[in-house]
Structure 1
Amino acid sequence: MTQPHILIAGGGIGGLALALSLHQLGVRCTVYEQVRALKPLGVGINIQPNAVRELFDLGLTPAQLDKIGVPAREWALVGQKGQEIYAEPRGTDAGYRWPQYAAHRGQLHMLLYQTLVDRAGPEAVQLGAKISGYSILPEGGVTATINHTDGSHSIVEGTLLIGADGIHSAVRAQMHPHQPPIHWGGALMWRGTSRAKPVRTGSSFVGLGDHRQRMVIYPISAPDADGFATINWIAEVTLDETEARKSGWYKPAQLSDFAHHFDGWTYDWLDVPALLRGASEIYENPMIDRDPV
C-alpha cells in the first residue's frame, strides 16, 4: 500500500498545527504557503485551555509558551465610566487543568513553524507556493496546482488535500463555487501593542466600553524589572451598515484614524489615550466572517 501523503494548503496557525498532528501520527504531509518567508505578523491572541491542551499533546511545553505569552488569570468587563460590571477567573485559576495563554500571534505562528521544521525537516513546508486549484483523480487521490512566486507552476499528487488557506481560500472557492460572499460584521478594529504596566491582576483580559465603541486590553509578556509589559489592545468601533464594507486582513493604520473615539477614556487605573499613543505599530482589520459550508 502506498504511503499516504497529505497536501495542506496554507501555512498559518491551522495548517501548521494540523501538520504537527499528522507528523505525530506518522502520516507524511507537506504544507504549501504562498509567502516567500514566514514572519511573526499580528499582535495578541488568546489561546483557550482546550487549545493549550492540544498544544501540550503535540509536545509543546509551558516553558515554550511562557516565551511567547503569559497565562491569563482574569476576564473583566468594565463600563465606559470605568466601573466594573463583571469579572471571573480564567485558566487554571478557574479550575481548568490547562492554562489560558495570552500570546503574541506571530510568535506562536513561528513556534509552530520551527517545531514542524525541526521534527519533519525543511521540506515539510514549501514557501512561495500557493495551491490555486485541484483535481480529484478517478482512481482516488488528488492533484493540486501550485503557483510559485517566480511565476512558474507545478502539479503535485497526494492522498488528500486539506484547505487551511484562510477566509479567501482557493480550495473552498473551487469546492463551493456558489458560496455566499464574506459577511461584514459592522465593526472595524484597530490593533496594536504598547509598553505599559498591566492592570488589575497583572494578567487580566479587560473588555472596556459599550456596544458602539470598546477596547480589549491584555498583556502578552511578563513584566520587566520596571514593571512594564507588552500590552495588546484592540480598539473597536461599530459602523453604520450604510458605510463601506471591508474584506481585507491586517492593514497598517494611523492613530489619527480612530483615537478620537476614545478621548476622555482616562481612569485612575488606566489611561487609554496614552496607551494608544504608545503603540509602535497599528493595524486595521474589519470584523468579517463566512458562513459554514
Structure 2
Amino acid sequence: MRQTTLLTFLLFIAIQTFGQDLRQTALDQYNKQDFKAAAKTYQQYLKENEGDSLDWYNLAVSSARISDHVEALDYFKEAKKHNFPPAFISFGMAKSYAALKEETKMIEVLNEGAGNGLNAIALLKNDPAFEAYQSSTGFMEVLKKVEQNAYPCLGSANYRHFDFWIGEWDVLVNGRKVGDNSITMAKGGCAIHENYTTAGNYAGQSINFFDPIDKKWHQHWVGSGGDVYNYLETKRESGLLQFQSKFMGPTGNISLSRLTFTLNDDGTVRQLFEGSTDEGKTWTPSFDGLYRKKK
C-alpha cells in the first residue's frame, strides 16, 4: 500500500515537472520570437494544463505572428476569460481582424479596448496591420478615443487655457524688439515650455502647467542671471492668466512679483510684470511687453 502511494506521488511530481518544463520551453521560444515553435509547445502544454492568462495570450500572439489568425482570435478570447488585461486583448484581436479584412469586428474590439484604457496611439498609427484603415471613418474615431486615453490633457479645458501663448514670438517694448520667445507645447499637452533669449547676455526658461491637485496654473522660471520665480495662478479668465510669486533680489530682500498675460483681439499677447515691496498693497510696473507672432 505504501509502495503504491509512493509511486503515485512520484508520478504526480514527474507530470508536474514535465508540465512546467514544457511551459518554460514555450516561454523561451516565445522570447526568442520563434513563434511557430512557441505556438506548438504552448498548444501541447495547454492541452494537459489549465494555464494562466499569460500562457493563452502568448499562444494567441504566437499564432497571429505565424498568420493563424482564426486560431489566434480563439486564444485571445481564452486569455480574456483568464483575466489578461483587456486593452492588450483588444489590440491583439484587432490586428487579427485587420489581417482577415473584417473591419467591422476590428473597429468593435478597438472601441471596446478604448473603453478599457487602450492608449497605444503610436502603434495604431504606425503598425502595418492597420495601414489600410487609416482613412476609415470608424478607425479615425477610434484613434481620437485612444489618443484621449494616451494624452488626457489634450482634451481638458483646464490644460488648454494657456494655449494662446503658444507660438514663435518677437517680444517688443514700446515698439522696439527686446527678445525672442519660443513657446511650445510638451508632448501630450500637459505642459508648456518657454525659451526666452535676447541679443545680450540674458536668457531664461520656464515650464508652465496646470496642477490638478490645487487646480491652479504654475510657472517655474529660471533666468541666466540666477533669478528664480515660482509663480502661482491668482486669476484666470478667458484670454487672461495672472500669476504671483515671491522674488529674492540681489541683496537678499524678498518682494512680490505679479505676472499677467492678456490675449489681445489682434492675436498679440501682452505680458505685464509688476512688483510690490509692501506685500501686495501697491504694484509698480517693471516690464510691459507685447508678443507678436514671427512672420
TM-score by length of 2: 0.21
For CA contacts below 8 A with separation 6 or more, give which structure has more relative contact order. Answer: 1
Higher strand proportion: 1
Larger radius of gyration: 2
TM-score by length of 1: 0.21
